[in-house]
Structure 1
Amino acid sequence: MSPIAVIDFETTGISPGQGARATEVAIVLMENGQVVDRFQSLMKTGAWIPPFITQLTGITNAMVDAAPHATTVMADAARFVGDAPMVAHNAAFDSKFWQAELARADLPAPHPFACTVLLSRRLYPHAPSHKLGTLVDFHGLPRTGQAHRALADAEMAAALLARMQHDLRTRWGVGEPSHALLQLVQRCARPKVGALLAQHAAA
């Protein structure tokens, strides 16, 4: 299958539309369910990090002040991703920061996103919750590094994606659980997911 880039941001707030900026980005490149490369960097934007964000992530104002400028980081990140489609856990959040930070760097953001939260709700409706840490524990996947740091969260989201692709093959008989199929599944009403996957398995 074609490469898929799994991304996670740490940020100063909830939305770039409300002035929040990224403080850290990490991207895990997946091929055939395996991690083949990683990218991670803190980034300097000049935005102030509130104390409660530092308490959550461990990222301080001093750390980002010493980091490469966001424009440089995003240019490097865009080169790393290339034209690979993207996945994030809660893509509604990460896709907005990806697009906003690339726009600030005068770079295009043509990458389609799939969301492991939406996919989990459809594939694992019996999970106790669809938070990343809960799903990692639910599936017996390894926890990697400190939660709420971008690389650890991107690694766990990548492991969750690999588990989803494995289950699509083994439980639902889908030969190639591509990014395009993931997007179809996440948009499908949950009662119709089985029929959708059966159709793809038979194709």
Structure 2
Amino acid sequence: MERWLALELASTVRHDGDGGVADDLASVEGVTRWVEAQAESLSGQVRIRELSVDEALRSEIVALRQAVRALFARAVSPAPPSPADARRLMPVEEGLAYLNSVAARESVVPQLDWPSDGAPAVRLVSAEGDPAVRLLAALARAAVDFLSGPHRDRLRACSAPRCVRYFVKSHGRQEWCKPSCGNRARAARHYQRQRQATDGGPAAS
């Protein structure tokens, strides 16, 4: 299954299984675990072994997530956004400005690569030594790439009861982020139909 780093960041806000919302980035330890889990997606961009997560970095990643989720809400409009933060989204223009400013923090320079047995080619090399800056910029660039690419048109907010995830629609009739959400949504609809039938039945004598 294809993974998108921007979607992984947005999905650190999730249903906790008990009717509430959990935040995987609520602590420095949580951020550390999440970053380590993204090692493959960040390969070549961030030296994770050199990264030390502190409260300042955690706060910046959370702010970046707020910006991404505000822009995700714009992307799925006029459909409703995720209910996790629908009432307290960062203003879109603020989210856009913040995302672009974070993406610009890392300077990259072109380097000519010309192997003895091949044609010359250019590659971009980071001029930034701080792994925290490189991490934030990589996350922001991933969101820029996602929101400017073809997957944005298939982005949806899961409509299943209690789910707060965004997902990329993989086929035409997909309404939910995963099968368990579909099962829960169908059960809720069945319950609602039964309740309406009961409420609309003849009054007891």
Which interval holds the TM-score relative to the shorter structure? Answer: under 0.3
TM-score (normalizing by structure 1): 0.26
Which protein is bigger by CA-based radius of gyration? 2
TM-score (normalizing by structure 2): 0.26
